């Protein structure tokens, strides 16, 4: 998974892996309040994705050049 925001991640995940992740997250939350959402995106939606990225001063503006 790739972090795309402070609390947002993006990546490929099969059904088994998704279920494992959900179980682990539920255990971690326990009875603490929280809201975790896994939102599936189809290939078509991913192709329509648009990114607006303004690099920090000194950062390389090329995608993935800074290990993002």
pTM score, two decimals?
0.62
- Tens-digit pLDDT profile for residues 14-68: 999 999 999 999 999 999 999 999 999 999 999 999 988 888 888 876 666 555 5
Domain boundaries, position 31: 1-68
Q: Under 8 Å CB-to-CB from 51, ≥6 apart: which residues? A: 63
Torsional class of 19: left (φ above 0), alpha (ψ -120 to 50), beta (otherwise): alpha
How many domains, in total, are found in the chain?
1
Using CB atoms within 10 Å of the CB of residue 21, give its burial: 0 to 12 exposed, 13 to 18 middle, 19+ buried.
middle
Of 58, 68, 66, 52, which Cα lies nearest the Cα of 8? 68
């Amino acid at each position: 998974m790739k972090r795309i925001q402070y609390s947002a991640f993006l990546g490929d995940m099969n059904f088994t892996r998704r279920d494992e992740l959900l179980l682990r997250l539920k255990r971690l939350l326990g009875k603490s309040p929280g809201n975790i959402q896994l939102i599936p995106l189809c290939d078509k939606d991913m192709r329509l994705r648009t990114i607006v990225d303004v690099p920090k001063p000194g950062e390389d503006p090329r995608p993935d050049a800074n290990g993002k």
